[in-house]
Amino acid sequence: MTTLRQSPNFGPRRDGATPKFVVIHYTAMADCEGAIRALCDPVREVSAHYLIGRDGHCHALVDEAMRAWHAGAGAWRGITDMNSHSIGIELDNCGFSPFSAPLMDQLCVLLREIMARWDIPPEGVIGHSDLAPGRKIDPGPRFDWARLAREGLAIMPKPRIALAIDPPRFMTDCAQIGYHVDDLSLMRDTLRRRYRPHALGKAAPLDGWDCAIAADLAARFGVDRAGHVT
């Protein structure tokens, strides 16, 4: 079930942009109603296209054709105005707890519809932490990216063996994936937060599995003749 709760915090997408990505967030608030108030408060100047409650109820806040204010400062695959190029989905979660089954069920339904409408591939579904490493960590290590990947709604690397530890190659691979990070430790933790949450927070140095994951993901993306990520 979806309820329309119009937020005043939106505008036109700039330069004729259309959605190429879906960005997933968590609210980090006590409840869904509090999140709705925040996302509809003109003083706060934040919003998202959708908010899904822990009960699975979906709240439509901004029309998909419009530019919601959810991504903030950051970049992904060479794009710095991510608000103009993405659809933002907020999830009712504190950031430290598992995401409820009704919420995840509704998210999968919504993602499938959005991706079909805008021809967004699984590679285009990212977390806020992907585009704003060091500033944002949502949807966090408790989010079930593996389920989305199983349903064809996101990607999950499947390296067979660990690679030799090669920091320069690791950073090059991460840049090809779409990350804009020049600090090795931050990049390692950002990648682990999404793809190896069990290894996050152990202050372990870059290892062969980090390198294998980055290489596996980089292989999915191309580079044009000018050397730009495509």
Domains of the chain: 2-150 (3.40.80.10), 167-218 (no CATH)
pLDDT range class, residue 221, cuts 50, 70, 90? confident
Q: Out of 59-68, 167-176, 198-207, which region has the weakest mean confidence (pLDDT)? A: 198-207
Question: Alpha helices, DSSP H only, in the chain?
Answer: 32-39, 101-118, 128-131, 145-150, 167-177, 184-195, 208-218
Please give the average per-residue pLDDT across 10-35, as a whole number: 96
Predicted structure pTM score: 0.94
Query: pLDDT at position 203, please?
Result: 64
CB 187 within 8 A of CB 133: yes
Question: Is the per-residue pLDDT at 45 higher than 80?
Answer: yes
- The mean pLDDT value for 31-40 works out to 96
With H, G, I as helix, E, B as strand and everything else as coil, classify residue 45.
coil
**Is the pLDDT at 148 greater than 60, yes or no?**
yes
What integer pLDDT is reported at residue 37 of this predicted model?
Answer: 96
Q: Please report which confidence band the pLDDT of residue 201 belongs to, taking 50, 70 and 90 as the band edges.
A: confident
Name the β-bridge partners of 59. 3, 51
Average pLDDT rounded to a whole number, residues 134-145: 95
Q: Is 45 a catalytic residue?
A: no
Looking at residue 222, its pLDDT comes to 58
Q: How high does pLDDT run on average in the chain?
A: 93
d(CA 142, CA 67): 28
Which uninterrupted H or E stretch holds 58? Answer: strand 58-60
Share of the chain above pLDDT 70, in %: 95
pLDDT at 229 over 60: no
Of the residues 90, 113, 123, 151, which is catalytic? 90
Any bridge partners for residue 79, and if so which?
76
Element (H, E) at 171: helix 167-177
